[in-house]
Amino acid sequence: MQDSRDYDEEPVVYCAKCYSLKIKYEEAIDADCCMDCGCSDVLTSSIDEWEKLYEQRYGHKFTVKTHDPKKSFIFKLPLEKLKEKVFKDIHWRDIIQNIYPHFPGGLGRADSLILFFDKLTRDNRLDDLRLLLLNHYRNKGNGREEVKKCRG
Ligand SMILES: [Zn+2]
């Protein structure tokens, strides 16, 4: 049992601003950077200490989210709703080209989407679309745009 004694004392590096543990070294600024809020102010403490701080600020314990995308709303959408979402998205063409870079570009929105979903169903790639949309919406929240034009 003595061997596990030091386990919890391993220091953690966290963001001084939002207490996130998602710290990554950013080459451009030659410093550690918080992936959640972009702050380059990081602190080190024991896990215990950090947990306490986190709880004080957020009023609940930090829980490790598994981030299972299959549990997200987009995976619960019926196919028709999924079609609707892509149809209404102003980036619908980018979404299609992200999955099929060589998708014919001359078609209108309705025809493109019929063809697109036909292909997706046939290739069994509906989950690819769902994952793509998931990232798309997530990044919208950050004001960033993740669905990029594919320059194939
Ligand atoms: Zn932060």
In DSSP terms, 25 is beta-bridged to 32
Dist. CA 34 → ligand 1 center (Å)? 5
Kindly state whether residues 88 and 115 are assigned to the same domain: yes
Dist. CA 16 → ligand 1 center (Å)? 7
Q: Would you say the pTM of this structure is higher than 0.75? A: no
Q: How far apart are CA 151 and CA 130, in angstroms?
A: 22
Predicted local distance difference test score (pLDDT) of residue 66 = 60
CA 141 to chain centre: 10
Kindly state whether residues 121 and 78 are assigned to the same domain: yes
Q: Considering the domain boundaries, does residue 146 fall inside one?
A: no
First to last CA, the chain: 56
Kindly state whether residues 100 and 137 are assigned to the same domain: yes
Kindly state whether residues 76 and 137 are assigned to the same domain: yes
Q: Considering the domain boundaries, does residue 64 fall inside one?
A: no
Kindly state whether residues 53 and 115 are assigned to the same domain: no
CB crowding 50-79: b at 16 or more within 10 Å, else e: bbeebeeeeeeeeeeeeeeeeebebbeeee
Kindly state whether residues 89 and 121 are assigned to the same domain: yes
Q: Considering the domain boundaries, does residue 98 fall inside one?
A: yes
Q: Which pLDDT tens digit goes with each residue over 24-77?
A: 998 888 999 999 999 999 999 988 899 999 999 988 888 766 667 777 888 888
Dist. CA 6 → ligand 1 center (Å)? 27
Is residue 152 scored above 50 in pLDDT?
Answer: no
Domain of 91 in residue numbering reads as 70-141
Q: How far apart are CA 64 and CA 47, in angstroms?
A: 13
Q: Which pLDDT tens digit goes with each residue over 57-72?
A: 988 888 766 667 777 8
The answer for residues whose C-beta is within 8 angstroms of residue 109's C-beta and 6 or more apart is 87, 92
Kindly state whether residues 92 and 35 are assigned to the same domain: no
